[in-house]
Structure 1
Amino acid sequence: MVLTAVLGCLLVTVAHAMPQYRDIILNGHNIPNPCCPGRRWDRVGHMTTSGRAMPLNDFGSDFAANGRRFTEELCLADSDGDGMKNGLELGLVTNRFSLATLCKFIGMYPQAINFLRIRGHLGNAISHPGICDQRGAQSNCQPPSQCGC
């Protein structure tokens, strides 16, 4: 019984801690929901917006593989294979600096998200980095048919 209580507390602690990852991902609190335009996707690394923690989407898997950090490599990757780099999907503005330069800066200074926003280098997220939702010429994907709304 004590073991059950301890494990229960640990599970609650782990489940509660996960939303903090949104603080270290560009626009982590404002990811567009590809299934429901106008809504947000609160669990950027997961295939669903609520419920159990698993399964991870491709961005979530890449985030975990990068030590649960938003690294230069993750910024430059196209996790969902929709033809758009994660950094662009998450709102990096490349009118003054290249995506590679901005991603390198983020990789060196992960706490720089607010600095980038203040300086005009981070706008709003334009699409989801873990669910293939681009419908452009480079993309052959659509959002999952049953991702919930």
Structure 2
Amino acid sequence: MFFKLFILCLLVTVAHFYPRYKELILNGDRVPHPCCPGRSWSRVGHTTPSSTALNAFGRDFQASRRLFTKELCLADSDGDGVSNGIELGLNTTKYDLPTLCHFIDSSHMTRTFNEMVVFLKESKLLTNPTGHPGFCDQNTGRCRPNFPCGC
């Protein structure tokens, strides 16, 4: 009985803490669902909204110690030819992507991630996401879409 109670508590704890990861990713709560226009993908780093398996972006995020680093921002986790930073909504009309990604990375030292995101949004340097960084969903011809459809 004690073992079952322990497992239940462990599962509730894990389920409670994972959703905070999307707060550590640019527009993590607004990443578009690749199949269902108007819906967002609730677990950005996972292969499906209900899966525990990680997609390419999730593996890269895990490898970056769950920080949105300059390297993660510049990377193209899903291989569709569009960087994670661009897919997640960085606006490069004023500054180039390496500059914005460097700002995000160095801001971890002086601001909380949330403060930095608010600053980017207020400065119109962060807009709506244009794609999903974990699935080839851009029509670039560099990869074949590889996401599970169904709403």
Q: Same fold (TM over 0.5)?
A: yes
Distance of 1:106 and 1:7 partners within structure 2? 38
Task: Specify the alignment match of 1:142 in structure 2.
Answer: 145
Q: Report if aligned partners of 1:46, 1:57 keep a CA contact under 8 Å in 2.
A: yes
Distance of 2:143 and 2:59 partners within structure 1? 21
For residue 92 of structure 1, the aligned residue among 90, 93, 111 is: 90
Task: Specify the alignment match of 2:19 in structure 1.
Answer: 19
Which AA in structure 1 matches 2:69? T
For residue 75 of structure 2, the aligned residue among 70, 77, 80 is: 77
Over the matched positions of the two proteins, sequence identity in percent amounts to 52
For residue 132 of structure 2, the aligned residue among 121, 128, 146 is: 128
Distance of 2:47 and 2:23 partners within structure 1? 19
Task: Specify the alignment match of 2:39 in structure 1.
Answer: 39
Structure 1 residue runs without a partner (length 5+)? none
Task: Specify the alignment match of 2:99 in structure 1.
Answer: 101
Distance of 1:22 and 1:90 partners within structure 2? 12
Q: 2:59 aligns to what SS in structure 1?
A: helix
Which AA in structure 2 matches 1:18? Y
Q: Report if aligned partners of 1:48, 1:147 keep a CA contact under 8 Å in 2.
A: no
Aligned length: 145
Q: Normalising to structure 2: TM-score of the pair?
A: 0.91
CA RMSD for the aligned pairs?
1.2
TM-superposed CA distance for 1:109, in Å, is 1.5
Q: Report if aligned partners of 2:60, 2:72 keep a CA contact under 8 Å in 1.
A: yes
Structure 2 residue runs without a partner (length 5+)? none
Q: Normalising to structure 1: TM-score of the pair?
A: 0.92
Distance of 2:118 and 2:49 partners within structure 1? 25
> 4+ runs of 1 displaced by more than 2 Å?
none
Task: Specify the alignment match of 1:117 in structure 2.
Answer: 121
TM-superposed CA distance for 1:11, in Å, is 1.6
